Amino acid sequence: MSQYKALEKIKISKIVKKIWLITFLLIVLLIAILFLPWQQNIKGYGELIAYNPEERPYKVYAPISGFIEKFLVKEDIFVKKGTPLVIMRDLDKNYFENLDKIKKNIQRQLKNLQINLSLLQNKKENLKENLKIGLNVYNNKMKKIQNKIKSLENKSVSLKKNLEITKINYERIKKLYKEGIESKRKFELEENKFIKAKIDYENNILEIKIQKRELEITKQEREKFKREATNKILETKKQIQDTKLKIQKLNEELTKINIKISRYKTATIYAKEDGFIVRILKNDKNQYIKKGEPLFIFSPSYKSRAILVKFRPLDMPLVKKGLPVRIQFEGWPALQIPGWPRISVGTFSGHIEKVDPLPQKDRGFYAFVVEDFKDEWPVLNITLATSFKLIKSLATYTSFLIRFGITFFYKLIC
């Protein structure tokens, strides 16, 4: 090879050396990047809302059918509880008079029914008392008859005994009279005694039968009296129940009338709680508004805020309750390096409080992010429905970046 001196003059170009060096450094840099704690990012959309559903905006509806007389407040003005907001007037000028007539008519019917109810209750008590007295009368009468029957039965025993003795004497005297031993007069006297004893015994037996028949009749009369009196009491109770039902229905009608009158008298709508009129939906004084139509949207003051985050179904497994997040509000100066959520300026802390288990109609999943009180959100400059970004750091060293774009529905100073 020494004879080829041209090879010794060949040298590697400086440009090639630089290319090799740059390539080597890039390879080293790429290998080093593999060991950096980089985290994945995911995009989504959402809004800032009140966490308590009762503190979220709601529509206020017309209490009566009619026209708007006057709006007493303007949009986006803070109002206290009890502040008058809207005055309405009814289309029918005689509406209140008609309601008042109906009310007086119902009150008159109620008064008559109350009197009738009192009379029926007194009648029921009287019927019960009469039933009690009547049963006592029949019971006493039956007891008296039973005692008389018992007395007659005891008397019957003695009369029967007397009849048997008298009959024996009569038969003996009769035999002696036929034999001529006793006189005719004595025979006739014994015969009369026997006949009298027989008649007394038979009359006593007949009296017992009469008293037993009387007892049976008295029992039948007692049952008939009891049945008739009980039917009258039951009928009176039914009348009382019907009257009470009528009174109840009239009271319900009276309550409805009073509510209508109260609504008519208080056609002014008052604020039920502190808050804002966000949007007036009906402002034409010449437009007829039916009862139940929405007049305006009212947003009550809230105590707790939350971020309603929308994310794709693909990202669902990455979202769990309790995971920390970093929030960047739109319009708020901030810097966030993708992949390293801790390297940020102008962002705020929070954590996921709740995740909806099912997708909504737009096929997206939603989660609620609440404030971290160690790193509180800005108070005076952030309002509900503000657009923002949210950087979420997962416990699995995976995170996502959610970009929020929300239309301005209402403005509420925290």
114-173 residue pLDDT tens: 999 999 999 999 999 998 998 999 899 889 988 988 888 888 888 888 888 888 888 887
What does the block give as tokens for 179?
């034999």
User: What string of DSSP letters covers 56-101?
Assistant: S-EEEE-SSSEEEEEE-S-TT-EE-TT-EEEEEEES-TTHHHHHHH
Is the domain covering 35-54+302-403 a CATH 3.40.50.300 domain? no
DSSP conformational letter for 289: B
User: β-strands 275-280, 268-270: how paired?
Assistant: unpaired
One of 3.90.1150.110, 2.40.50.100, 3.20.20.70, 2.130.10.10 is the CATH number of 57-83+271-299, namely 2.40.50.100
User: What string of DSSP letters covers 189-254?
Assistant: HHHHHHHHHHHHHHHHHHHHHHHHHHHHHHHHHHHHHHHHHHHHHHHHHHHHHHHHHHHHHHHHHH
Using only the alpha carbons of the chain, give its radius of gyration. 54
Q: Which residues contact 257 (CB under 8 A, 6 or more apart)?
A: 99, 102, 103, 106
> Is the pLDDT reported for residue 326 higher than 50?
yes
Residue of 380, 377, 355, 353 lying closest to 366 (CA atoms): 355
Q: What is the pLDDT of residue 14?
A: 73
Structural domain spans, the chain: 35-54+302-403, 57-83+271-299, 96-265
284-300 residue pLDDT tens: 888 888 888 898 888 88
Over residues 42-52, mean pLDDT? 74
Average pLDDT, the chain: 78
Q: Give the whole-angstrom CA distance, residue 287 versus residue 69.
A: 11
pLDDT class for 238, splitting at 50, 70, 90? very high
Q: What is the pLDDT of residue 177?
A: 77
One of 2.60.40, 1.10.287, 3.10.450, 1.10.10 is the CATH number of 96-265, namely 1.10.287
164-203 residue pLDDT tens: 888 888 888 788 878 777 787 887 888 888 888 888 888 8
Over residues 331-360, mean pLDDT? 71
Q: Do 35-54+302-403 and 96-265 fold alike per CATH?
A: no
